[in-house]
Amino acid sequence: MEFSKDYTVKDEHIDVQGIMDGLYYPFYMEWCRHDFIREVLGFDLEEQAHKGVFMVLSQYTIKYLRSLKKGDQFTVTCTLYGDKAGQPRLHFKQTIIMNGKVMTSAVFTGTCIPAAGGRPYLPEAISSLIAEAPKLEFEGIK
């Protein structure tokens, strides 16, 4: 199940070299991922936080292939994967694509934790969706 959103590079994200600062690529991916989590998984991060359920990242890897420039229009994709080892983790493969070329690729891994502290887990509603998702074979990017 692939999800995507379109964006335009914001002027304030451009560095002195005239390209988008590497810091901002994960932000665009986060915006897309959060929309995916809300719109597709039905998990509203703010609402769940008020209920004491925090969805957090545990790691990510990112590979920069090409630079974006001021005003570039691009698409961010997000695809959900379950955990091969059966751990309570969500894996999101994401790419930034412009003109049919992958500019950046990444894998973000997350889980849920109780706000009061405790062990990682996935709420039942998410666990049932993960059960049907493909399993991530490689925890990184190729």
What is the secondary structure of 17-57 as a DSSP string?
A: TSBB-GGGHHHHHHHHHHHHHHHTS---HHHHHHTTEEEEE
Separation between Cα atoms, residue 5 and residue 17, nearest integer Å: 26
Cα separations in angstroms, 78 against 16, 66, 84: 29, 19, 18
142 inside domain? no
Separation between Cα atoms, residue 127 and residue 135, nearest integer Å: 13
Q: What is the CATH number of the domain that holds 46?
A: 3.10.129.10
Q: Write the pLDDT tens digit of every residue in 81-98.
A: 999 999 999 999 999 999
Domain that holds residue 31: 2-136
Separation between Cα atoms, residue 39 and residue 34, nearest integer Å: 8
18 inside domain? yes
14 inside domain? yes
Q: Write the pLDDT tens digit of every residue in 27-72.
A: 999 999 999 999 999 999 999 999 999 999 999 999 999 999 999 9
Domain tally, the chain: 1
Q: Write the pLDDT tens digit of every residue in 100-141.
A: 999 999 999 999 999 999 999 999 989 988 888 999 986 555
Residue 25 has a pLDDT of: 98
Is pLDDT above 90 for 8?
yes
141 inside domain? no
